[in-house]
Amino acid sequence: MMPLPRPLSFAHCVLAGCLGLLGVSACAQSWPDKPIRVVVPLPPGGPSDIVLRGAAPKVQQLLGQPLIVDNKPGANGNIGTAEAARAAGDGYTWLWTTDTTLTVNPHVYEKMAFKASDLQAVTRASSFSQTLVCSPKAGLKTVAELVKKAKTTSLTYASGGAGSPGHLTTELFSTAAGVQMTHVPYKGPAPAVQDMLGGQVDCGFLAGPTVLPHVRAGRLVALAVSGAKRSPILPEVPTVAESGYPGFDASFSLVLFAPKSAPAALVQKMHNALATALKTPEMTDKLAQSDQTVVADTPAEAAARLAVDTQRWGEVARRIHLRLE
């Protein structure tokens, strides 16, 4: 006589259930039951780090588990992103990074250890733009004046490096305006600003918080901001669109991603917690002070916007033959 099969333990039943459709819902209800790791493929202390750590206490309160911020910088975000992309989709590893890691890097790096399709968007947490500033020595006060001068004189522009938001924004603007300017890349925005203050470089699209003190002091002249809306810290400065280029929008985002295998129920639960944290008055004010606007859109909305930006920046990268090692 064949021996009867041993009855399954409760733990086995739970595990088996989690593998089925109904079990996924049950697991989502019990998630999380241990600390949650968020990989940040950027150095600690930057704007992305500040926003995540600011939102973390409220997210932890809502989910009932600690949020562990794990900075894994290197290769312009590629190293940490690859690690998160390889992680199990069990809701205990997430990726927090700027959108350019997935909208720009795949176009400019010949070899990467991940594909954009290895990850799914949870939400665009915030949106930020670049501020077009010029040295007073350039004698420019409006976008129209810059375009006119660029068509008759060789102008230079600074950026925080090849492939940086400022670099891409200026090239997108140059195409829209029908002008050419000489790119002078720096290792970060700080040295770019210093040379602009000294008059060695004419202009540049740079992060608002970096240039704000110099604009307020009259050491730099702000001409426009690159996003669809005016900056919360420079509300008197028009957008590029308002300056004669309707529809121009070069804005960037901080985005939370999950491995592509993460169930939709877990993704939605994490989205809800983070969106709630970001929409508190404290976080809204904190982001505004760093020239960011809360977005907290749905996974579907985030994916749609990332697809648009991937196409936009891919076209720019191909046009200027941008390749990085």
Mean pLDDT, 10 residues at a time, the chain of 325 residues: 44 44 63 97 86 96 97 94 98 97 95 96 96 97 98 96 94 97 93 95 95 96 97 95 97 97 97 98 94 96 98 95 90
Return the amino acid letter for 166. Answer: G
3-state secondary structure the chain: CCCCCCCCCHHHHHHHHHHCHHHHHHHHHHCCCCCEEEEECCCCCCHHHHHHHHHHHHHHHHHCCCEEEEECCCHHHHHHHHHHHHCCCCCCEEEEEECHHHHCHHHHECCCCCCHHHEEEEEEEEEEEEEEEECHHHCCCCHHHHHHHHCCCCCEEEECCCCCHHHHHHHHHHHHHCCCCEEEECCCHHHHHHHHHCCCCCEEEEEHHHHHHHHHCCCCEEEEECCCCCCCCCCCCCECHHHCCCCCCCEEEEEEEEECCCCHHHHHHHHHHHHHHHCCHHHHHHHHHCCEEECCCCHHHHHHHHHHHHHHHHHHHHHCCCCEC
User: Which of 256, 264, 289, 284 minimizes the C-alpha distance to 99?
Assistant: 256
Structural class in CATH, domain 132-243: alpha beta
- Rounded to the nearest 5°, which phi and psi values hold at 117? -70, -10
Give residue 45's pLDDT.
81
Give residue 50's pLDDT.
86
User: Which of 32, 202, 55, 29 minimizes the C-alpha distance to 132?
Assistant: 202
Q: CATH 3.40.190.10: which residues of the chain? A: 132-243
Q: What's the CA gap between 103 and 84, in Å, rounded?
A: 16
Pull the structure tokens for residue 169.
């924004």
Give residue 25's pLDDT.
59
Place of tokens 């501020």: 131
pTM over 0.85: yes
Q: Which CATH architecture has domain 34-128+251-319?
A: 3-Layer(aba) Sandwich (3.40)
Give residue 23's pLDDT.
54
Q: CATH 3.40.190.150: which residues of the chain? A: 34-128+251-319
Give residue 8's pLDDT.
46
